[in-house]
Structure 1
Amino acid sequence: MVAEAASITPDTTSDHLARIARIADDIRDAADEIEAHRRMPDNLLAKMHGEKLFRLLLPQAYGGLEIDPPTFHRMTSALAECDGSTAWVVCQGNGCSTSAAYVPPEVAMEVWGNDPTAVLAWGPGKAEVTLTDEGYEVAEGRWQFASGLRHATWLGGRVTLTMPDGREDTRALLFKKEDCELIDIWNVMGLRGTASDGYSVKDLFVPKEYSLSRHIIPEERHCDGPLYSIPTTNLYAIGFSGVALGIATGMMNDFRKLASEKQPYRMTQRLAEQPIIQREVAQCQARLSSAQQYVLNESAEVWEDVIEKGELTLDSRMRIRLCTTYAIHEAKDVVDTIYDATGATSIFDSSLFQRRFRDIHTLTQQGQGRKMNLDMVGQHLLGLDPDLPTPY
């Protein structure tokens, strides 16, 4: 059974970006609270749900917007200019929402279609699982790094199993948050507001209909839109590179204001009047603009190829991996340059420059930002079989 798409008029990229513009001031105003409490405030969440920010990649059949990857990149970038943690949980929640295309329509309707505030969160971990004809007996399982856990309604537990046909499969088991014990582990340097905490279950049964493979298996797909031919990890790469570039762009915008006002101690010129600062600002802007255009161009061309071929080819996967990893590290280098230029302004906990510095350096430690991602691209470009990561 294939779910039918809802009859809606597609919005343009500018229409979608307007969703963020309408609540941008609310996000900026809440940023200190998000950082301090390590949570998304309820009143901000309500506005985010009102703008459907957690439904950008959800199938239209279940009330989603099903936007294209370049627009997704632009939106996560625009959000991160306001606040990195907010952008991160939106990106993560949307990546998880593509699962709706790979579970039976009645399950997707229960999880997402009947609840406009639904959010699925998941993270890596381990579990002791027995596969039965009816589903999965989870004796015990524990997972962590589940961004958005505190405002999620459903959680996913990833497990690796030997299937009846002998193949090994990594699957996500979906269950309600109230079936879990939540574990507070998120005492970290940056992206504090993502609440990427842990969770555990004991003696839990998950019906087989509430599971999906973390690999693309066409026979298990219930929505035929081209978006759902792209593995989640590649959509994450496009979105999280937008988060990185947005953090750096926000820092650049704030620095221009600081540079026009700050005259460092024992110096006769404002920062904006110093040639070395002028040069670095120009170089940083060139790096950001080039990196973002690189991601937008590659994701647009790959998107057209997916529409034409009905799958994400290996070459397209490598193109996404290369442009997004490159963009993430260009963003980090820009943030480092601006951080140095701010001087003592950035050393205080209250400084937004410091927060962006901490956020970008936390982001680059996550899987999408690892420099080793470039190794597999190099292998592919040199005619070798790339050492592809396991799906997550």
Structure 2
Amino acid sequence: MTEHEVLAAVRALAPAVRERATEAERLCRIPEATIKDLAAAGLFRLLQPRTHGGLAADPAVFYEALRELGRACGSTGWVAGVLGVNSWIVSQLGPRAQDDVWGSDPGARIASSQAPIGAVAPAEGGFWISGRWSFASGCDHAQWALLGGFLRDAGGAPREMRLFLLPRAAYTVDPVWDTVGLRGTGSNDIVVDHVFVPDHHTVAADRLGSATRPEQSAPEPVFRLPMGPVLTTSIAAPIVGMAEAAYIGYLNAARERIRVTGGKVADDPFAQVRIGRAGSEIDAAWLQLIHNVRELYDTTRRGEEPSLALRTRLRRDQVRATERAVYAVDLLMENAGGSALRNGSHDNTLQRAWRDVHAGRGHVTNDPERSLALFGRQALGLDVHDPML
């Protein structure tokens, strides 16, 4: 399959994914049928190296697929983004790790919880790690996990953050996920009890966070992109799709809805203004996001290092995309009436999107003040350092 055939296959799956959205919320994880459909469509191979059965695709195609899935089911778009982008991270660990993950199973998927909260002890040839990692979206559907941890000095102070790659047999999943928003993501806890991780299954976070890729990265241009934009856009893209779902859901309801004061909502000029504002915010969110991704990818394909101005603009517009999506959904929800608040209604698309965009906004990559300050510092000619650039 080509990358564009994958995108077409994902679009064809959208109606079935949408039908299973309620089931995903009931299960607190993505239905197995949806994961199988996405795997068959090739979604999880878009950011996988060609040497191991992947497509090493244009990242804009990957993000467009996430937007499509987010429009159909916010939780599915979120999990597809997390599992899909983790293949990109494994591509940075080198051939041995890639062989271990995909050598016998080219369809293997990787979950992650990158917060450095585990206990790490150096050992000959690797490290011993233990701990509990939360918010591992889609971990029920993964055969591997990437987990964060600090190496510490003799006094216990953090010295270096690293990511550690573990096979499914090395950890357990504690099904603790039960939330208001993004209920279907199955973002459960991963528990590790004194497991050895060899050197070739770990990488220093600062190497991944640099603008120059580690020398062991897979060779295709997509794997030479800076880590920050790759990861953060995989969070923002499905959120834009969620906002589009809310917009469509609002329009469908407003065409037939009658206000208690009389008259159709569709004839209300103030409702029309809200539709105009919300639509504009969603369009602006996506157009900026995808324009920047394409510029970044073109720069990398030319063999050039992305400028700091471009990288800070990417972060600026990524958090603004999320802000715009949330603002647009709030505009519509405020004007949707009490029926949109009911649980178990025949069409709760708007309510689900409202819950999901707010849950997604809480992700650390969507902190607007930090990201906008980075752009401001760069614009003023000040020093700028951040691992998500």
The TM-score with structure 2 as length reference comes to 0.91
Classify 1:255/1:228 alpha carbon distance in 2 versus 1 (closer, same or farther; 3 Å): same
**How much has 1:117 moved relative to structure 2?**
3.5
Checking the alignment, whether the CA contact within 8 Å between 2:145 and 2:167 is kept in structure 1 is: yes
Classify 1:353/1:173 alpha carbon distance in 2 versus 1 (closer, same or farther; 3 Å): same
Q: Secondary structure at the match of 2:178?
A: coil
- The whole-number CA distance in structure 1 between the counterparts of 2:6 and 2:72 is 16
Code of the residue aligned with 1:151 in structure 2: it is H
**How much has 1:17 moved relative to structure 2?**
2.3
Structure 1 window deviating more from structure 2 (145-154 vs 205-214): it is 205-214
Code of the residue aligned with 2:197 in structure 1: it is V
- The whole-number CA distance in structure 2 between the counterparts of 1:213 and 1:310 is 24
- The whole-number CA distance in structure 1 between the counterparts of 2:185 and 2:89 is 20
* RMSD, aligned α-carbons: 2.1
* Offset from partner CA, 1:233-265 (integer Å, 9 cap, x none): 311222222111101111111111111111122
Code of the residue aligned with 2:354 in structure 1: it is F
What residue is the counterpart of 1:385 in the other structure? 383
- The whole-number CA distance in structure 1 between the counterparts of 2:214 and 2:124 is 19
- The whole-number CA distance in structure 1 between the counterparts of 2:214 and 2:279 is 45
Matches within 5 A, 1:239-388: 239-267=234-262, 269-350=263-344, 351-372=348-369, 373-388=371-386
- The whole-number CA distance in structure 2 between the counterparts of 1:359 and 1:143 is 22
**How much has 1:218 moved relative to structure 2?**
4.1
Code of the residue aligned with 2:219 in structure 1: it is D
Structure 1 window deviating more from structure 2 (290-299 vs 27-36): it is 290-299
- The whole-number CA distance in structure 1 between the counterparts of 2:381 and 2:144 is 42
- The whole-number CA distance in structure 2 between the counterparts of 1:86 and 1:58 is 19
Classify 1:202/1:340 alpha carbon distance in 2 versus 1 (closer, same or farther; 3 Å): same
Does residue 137 of structure 1 match 2:137?
no
Code of the residue aligned with 1:352 in structure 2: it is T
- The whole-number CA distance in structure 1 between the counterparts of 2:213 and 2:279 is 42
**How much has 1:125 moved relative to structure 2?**
4.1
Give structure 1 stretches of 5+ with no counterpart. Answer: 1-8
Matches within 5 A, 1:9-24: 10-12=2-4, 15-24=5-14
Checking the alignment, whether the CA contact within 8 Å between 2:17 and 2:72 is kept in structure 1 is: yes
Checking the alignment, whether the CA contact within 8 Å between 1:31 and 1:83 is kept in structure 2 is: yes
What residue is the counterpart of 1:224 in the other structure? 219
**How much has 1:89 moved relative to structure 2?**
0.6
Checking the alignment, whether the CA contact within 8 Å between 1:95 and 1:232 is kept in structure 2 is: no
Q: 1:73 aligns with which of 63, 81, 85?
A: 63
Matches within 5 A, 1:138-217: 138=129, 140-161=130-151, 168-214=159-205, 215-216=207-208
Q: Secondary structure at the match of 2:244?
A: helix
- The whole-number CA distance in structure 1 between the counterparts of 2:331 and 2:175 is 34
- The whole-number CA distance in structure 1 between the counterparts of 2:214 and 2:364 is 28
* Offset from partner CA, 1:303-333 (integer Å, 9 cap, x none): 1112224544322221210111111111100
Q: Secondary structure at the match of 1:20?
A: helix
**How much has 1:50 moved relative to structure 2?**
0.3
* Offset from partner CA, 1:72-92 (integer Å, 9 cap, x none): 221111111100000001111
Checking the alignment, whether the CA contact within 8 Å between 1:80 and 1:246 is kept in structure 2 is: yes
What residue is the counterpart of 1:112 in the other structure? 102
Code of the residue aligned with 1:289 in structure 2: it is D
Checking the alignment, whether the CA contact within 8 Å between 1:125 and 1:141 is kept in structure 2 is: no
- The whole-number CA distance in structure 1 between the counterparts of 2:97 and 2:275 is 50
Structure 1 window deviating more from structure 2 (355-364 vs 64-73): it is 64-73
Q: Secondary structure at the match of 2:336?
A: helix
**How much has 1:113 moved relative to structure 2?**
4.2
Aligned residues: 376
Give structure 2 stretches of 5+ with no counterpart. Answer: none
- The whole-number CA distance in structure 2 between the counterparts of 1:284 and 1:218 is 38
Identity, in percent, stands at: 26
Q: Secondary structure at the match of 1:264?
A: coil
- The whole-number CA distance in structure 2 between the counterparts of 1:218 and 1:39 is 34
Checking the alignment, whether the CA contact within 8 Å between 1:77 and 1:245 is kept in structure 2 is: yes
- The whole-number CA distance in structure 2 between the counterparts of 1:148 and 1:359 is 16
Q: Secondary structure at the match of 1:383?
A: coil
Matches within 5 A, 1:13-92: 15-92=5-82
Code of the residue aligned with 2:287 in structure 1: it is Q
